[in-house]
Structure 1
Amino acid sequence: MAQDLSVVGEQKIISLPAKEVVLLKDVWKDQKTLVVFFRRWGCMLCRLWAKEISEISPVLKSNGVRIVGVGVEEAGHQEFINGKFFDGELFYVQDRSTYQQLGFKRFNMITILASLLWKQSRDAISKGNSMGLGGDTKGDKVQVGGALLIDQDGKLLRNFIQTGPADHLPNEEILKHFGLESEYKAATMANQETDRVCTIDAKA
């Protein structure tokens, strides 16, 4: 299971675009790491989650948190890279059983279509459309993912498992587990103040 990082860490992943094969445990060796397991590169809901995480990437990276995105397959990755949805490193699993080891659910075509009608999914799709994130139908359509938050000593801080395709681990919770809420709030306030000053100067 995902809680036993020594087992799942032995699974092989492949870097994108370089196609270098490494062990999953290599991405969190001696470093705080956020590993996000996306369901499909062409999924608008995954692109939305990637964009949300990218909002906090400056604070995470400046505090030594490595940001890694993993896909269940290679299909559709180039469009994901070209769209610059995710401010982190990208990989895909060599064996899809990695997702099963992590406890990530597989729907079927009927249940995955039904899940897109949930309010959570409808709201996320509406937001994604408003942002122009787009999407495609390439690849595995029924797999969902999750995330692992790991401390620099290899301790699992959070094992997040999606209940549906639009289920995202909130940025606030990610920051909380890494003890960075206050830094993010301070940076956000500073940016808002900078924007306010620039607006005033532009009107002057």
Structure 2
Amino acid sequence: MSTQESQNTQTPIKDLEDITLTDLGDNSTFKANTLWQDSPALVLVVRRPGCQLCREEALRISSYRDLISDKLGVKMVAIVHENLDNEVEEFNKGYWNGLLYFDKEKSFFSQVGGGNIQYGGMLSFLKPSVWFNIGQNMKTGITGNMKGEGRILGGLYVIHQGSGGVEYQYREKVWGDHSPFDQVLTAVKKVSKKNDPVTEAVYQETLDKVKKGEIVFNKDLRSGCTGEM
């Protein structure tokens, strides 16, 4: 049984496989299924690269790259729906520092929303949950800007290698609604093909700390991002 988040219907893998993505480095295009062809994958669907709440989630996940990618062998990918000025470069340099691709047709954003793009308009500011998310973000010291389209909600996928399908998905309900990180780590462990004792011990220790609220941010990664954010 998958660790699918109960808030939305799980996306069939066939609806993700043929999504066309663009490598912004050379503008080449490819089908999304190549991302999980040779290894399982964690796919972060980013609402807006300049958003401090989105940057917070990206930094939180990328801070555990050693466990998720290096030890558990799960490829980490970020997906954006716009390429504005140097926003994507700044986001990747300072908060993600990994594989990042452009979804011109916003297909991942549609699929994570159950088949339709989900929007969070200005009325979102009236929701207590949004202000709570902003308050929590301010404690991290992560800043952002107002550039770009921020209404389109994102989410996250954890996908098995090959045709194994989606193990976990999370749809952002309001601005700054992050997937529970203990659920993400649990799903990552389930799709991983690494089961040696050392990796298992590191995973369990990390999961226990995360459940206690001991989230670690990679300050070295943040120091690579310069300028007003």
Q: TM-score range by the shorter chain?
A: 0.7 to 0.9
Structure 1 residue 94 displacement after superposition: 2.1
For the pair 1:93 / 2:103, whether they are aligned, the reply is yes
Aligned pair partner of 1:24 in 28, 32, 43: 32
TM-score of the two chains, using structure 2 as the length reference: 0.71
Aligned to 1:150: 159
Runs of 4 or more above 6 Å deviation: none
Instruction: Assess if the C-alpha contact under 8 Å between 1:42 and 1:135 holds in 2.
Output: yes
Letter in 1 for 2:60: E
Structure 1 residue 10 displacement after superposition: 0.7
> Aligned residue pairs: how many?
186
Letter in 1 for 2:32: L
What do you get for the CA RMSD once the two structures are aligned? Answer: 2.6
Instruction: Label 1:151 to 1:186 Cα distance change in 2 as closer, same or farther (>3 A).
Output: same
The aligned runs of 1:37-76 (5 Å cut-off) are 37-61=45-69, 62-75=71-84, 76=87
The aligned runs of 1:157-172 (5 Å cut-off) are 157-172=167-182
Deviations 1:54-90 (A, max 9, x none): 23221111210000000111122122123x2114311
Instruction: Assess if the C-alpha contact under 8 Å between 2:111 and 2:117 holds in 1.
Output: no
- SS of corresponding position for 1:70: strand
Aligned to 2:3: none
For the pair 1:12 / 2:24, whether they are aligned, the reply is no
Q: d(CA) in 1 for partners of 2:206 and 2:170?
A: 26
Greater Rg by CA: 1
Q: d(CA) in 1 for partners of 2:179 and 2:80?
A: 17
TM-score of the two chains, using structure 1 as the length reference: 0.79
Aligned to 1:174: 184
Deviations 1:149-195 (A, max 9, x none): 111243210121111121111221111112278533435899xxxxx
Indicate the percent of aligned positions where both proteins have the same amino acid.
Answer: 24
Q: Which runs of 5+ in 1 are unaligned?
A: 191-204
Q: Which runs of 5+ in 2 are unaligned?
A: 1-8, 191-199, 210-229
Instruction: Assess if the C-alpha contact under 8 Å between 2:59 and 2:96 holds in 1.
Output: yes
- SS of corresponding position for 2:64: helix
